Structure 1
Amino acid sequence: MANATQTTATDGSAAAAVRHEFDAKARSQTSIILGRFVRHRLAMVSLGVLVLLALVSIVVPFFLPYSFADASSGGYLPPSSRHLLGTDQIGHDTLAQLLRGTQFSLAIAFTVAISSTVVGVLVGAVAGYLRGFIDNSLMRLVDLFLIVPQIAVVALLVHALAPSWYVVAGVLAIFSWMQIARITRGEALSLSAREFVEASRAAGAGTWHIVFKHLIPNMIGTITVNATLSVSTAVLTEAALSFIGLGVQLPDTSLGLIVQDNYTQVLLRPWLFWGPFLAIVLISVTISFIGDGLRDAFDPRQTKVRA
């Protein structure tokens, strides 16, 4: 009995030591990845600019004398101390509109990126792990969504539904998960043949346990980079939809809608056009640089696999 108790205690200590070693390696790997990203100056500057832009769009409107919906001033007023960027044709304060449009455009972009990434990762990981009929069925579904003329269908759905920012975000998310699903499927196919996955399967672990415990953690670099790029794509897609009049509609606003309302004034009143246009470019460029930094930080040649 004493020997059995001693053996059990020894096994427990060994298991605890293994867990401690794994946790230490995981923390070390996280520190290495974070260190690489912090050393990527362009990515850090871009992150700072993006955070600053988001904070300004949220905080500054509380200090403006006009809200984005107020139309009490005259139309096409030039920039002044009361209206720093002038007013549009209706009499809206252009700065208030620009800040509100930035809020909505960022909200749409991050909603699309997060929701499409979650769906795509789950579909791809399950397809790659289970293979066979499930894999074929899910990949045919992906192919079906890919061959659909996405912009046309998104425009029709947004037009048929209430054209609010969350409807635009939801519809865009429906047609934005396929690429990440294909990428994660390929990663899952490779990882599912690894020894630690085979051992977990032999021990009786279920599909979802293996997916969340072993597959997704080892794809976190790929997932993060692609999610970042999805934000940039969503910003540009929303701007394109709003520009052709099939995105966010009044009384809401977005950067694309502001550009659409004022592009004819680019020569006569350039401040009405260049503000939202440059905001779209700035968001897209900063997110792209952040994605580059994350890609370098998660360099697979230097990242160890977590089992």
Structure 2
Amino acid sequence: MSNDQTPEQQNTDQDQQMVDLAEVEDTKLEEKSKHSYSQGQLIRRRFFHHKPAIISLIMLGAVIILAFSSIGFGAVPGWWDKHYQATGSIVDGGRPMMFQDGNFLGEHPFGQENVGRDYFAMVMRGAQQSLIVAFVTAVVSSIIGIALGAIAGYFRGWTESIIMRLTDFVIVVPTLVFAAMLGHIAGGSVVMLGVLLGCATWTGMCRLVRAEVLSIREKEYVSAAVAMGASPARIITKHMIPNSIGVIIVNATFAFVTAILLETTLSYLGMGVQRPEVSLGLLIEQYQNAFSTRPWLFWFPGLFIIIIALAGNFIGDGLRDAFDPRQRRSGDSRPSIAGVLGLRGVQRAFRPKSDVGMPAAGGSGGAQLPAGQNDPHGDAKRFGRKK
């Protein structure tokens, strides 16, 4: 600014600079508004950027579609022409016929069992039953856990004490023992088995929802709702449960995986799905003695259990990272194979000096910060301020 300008001209120039600065800020705000996202959109974007979760979602969806579309379900027919209970003559010793003679599936893609039943149809039926049990178990355990956890966290006092002592009692009893006792009551019904298993696995959801509600009940909008005369039922259903939806969805996903493994264990022990029905665990139990002579009777149901369990776990990890990015681990914060095996010291011994806090060759001699640690003076350097 020139010194020979009058005060009026100087004020005019300052006003023009302020106008220009305001226009720049408005332009920046407009650009940001074009790329702004709602909370739901941010969660979806974070989830779809989690590649293992997306791959697992596709695989789990493929397993569900294959299981329910191949042999049909209920009155809906499937595209596979063999029934899981129909017997027949054993072809080629009952060996799998996939990818033979130029056929993708063949007549019996998974082979045949002892009396000539098609093992592909049996595995698909077993996957249907296991998925139904797991889904019903996850829904029932989530409903019970959400209701009891929200009531305990909101009302506190003797209500919380009674609910949490009941939760502690159920936790103390081993889940497998409790589920086995309830499994005998199911009477062979798959849906009833899922309901009873849900009554044995609700404790985790209850404790997580209670912790969330204890935090939410101190918020200002809850106090405002109470001051306006809202009923406890409305506050719980309209404010507390919707704001705990992230924890609920993630825990329900892991409950689905737990139910799959629990049903497999119970059926393997003869306390879950009963014959003449089949499930993945029941197939493994029935043909475990044929592992050395006809291993495909053991491997195919086991493979489906592994796929469903791993896919559910990866989907749960993706949902957890999407709802709570602070728990996301990437880069150096991810556990390495050496760290898992307890060889972290060996791993550090073979890392470059610049990666373990020692000066690199040709450096200034000062110790460098370890990977992943932020420089506390980085912002000062960026904006030209002295330390």
Q: Give the TM-score, by structure 1 length.
A: 0.86
Instruction: Say which is worse superposed, 162-171 or 235-244, in terms of deviation.
Output: 162-171
- The match for 1:178 is 203
**One-letter amino acid of the structure 2 residue matched with residue 55 of structure 1:** I
Q: Structure 1 stretches of 5 or more lacking a match?
A: 1-26, 303-307
* Aligned residue runs from structure 1 range 112-191, under 5 A: 112-191=137-216
Number of residues of Structure 1 aligned to a counterpart in Structure 2: 276
Which of 57, 69, 84 aligns to 1:59? It is: 69
Instruction: Deviation per CA, 1:162-208: give whole Å up to 9, x if none.
Output: 12312221111010111110111011111101111111011111111
**One-letter amino acid of the structure 2 residue matched with residue 291 of structure 1:** G
Amino-acid identity (%):
39
Superposed CA RMSD: 1.6
Note if contact 1:187-1:219 (Cα within 8 Å) is conserved in structure 2. Answer: yes
2:260 is the alignment partner of 1:260: no
- The match for 1:77 is 94
Which of 216, 231, 255 aligns to 1:206? It is: 231
2:37 is the alignment partner of 1:50: no
Which of 266, 275, 278 aligns to 2:300? It is: 275
Which of 214, 234, 246 aligns to 1:221? It is: 246
Q: Structure 2 stretches of 5 or more lacking a match?
A: 1-36, 72-77, 98-105, 328-387
2:133 is the alignment partner of 1:108: yes
Shift of 1:152: 2.0
Whole-Å Cα distance in 2 between the matches of residues 212 and 160 of structure 1?
Answer: 33
Shift of 1:252: 1.2
Whole-Å Cα distance in 1 between the matches of residues 274 and 89 of structure 2?
Answer: 21
Shift of 1:132: 0.7
Instruction: Deviation per CA, 1:39-68: give whole Å up to 9, x if none.
Output: 111101100110111001111222222111
Note if contact 1:73-1:87 (Cα within 8 Å) is conserved in structure 2. Answer: no
Instruction: Deviation per CA, 1:140-170: give whole Å up to 9, x if none.
Output: 1111221223322322332244123122211
2:62 is the alignment partner of 1:37: no
Note if contact 1:165-1:248 (Cα within 8 Å) is conserved in structure 2. Answer: yes
Q: Which has the higher contact order (CA 8 A, sep 6+)?
A: 1
Note if contact 1:117-1:177 (Cα within 8 Å) is conserved in structure 2. Answer: yes
2:78 is the alignment partner of 1:68: no
**One-letter amino acid of the structure 1 residue matched with residue 202 of structure 2:** W
Note if contact 1:165-1:252 (Cα within 8 Å) is conserved in structure 2. Answer: no
Instruction: Deviation per CA, 1:62-101: give whole Å up to 9, x if none.
Output: 2222111212344962223321211112332110011111
2:211 is the alignment partner of 1:194: no
SS of equivalent residue, structure 2 residue 122: helix
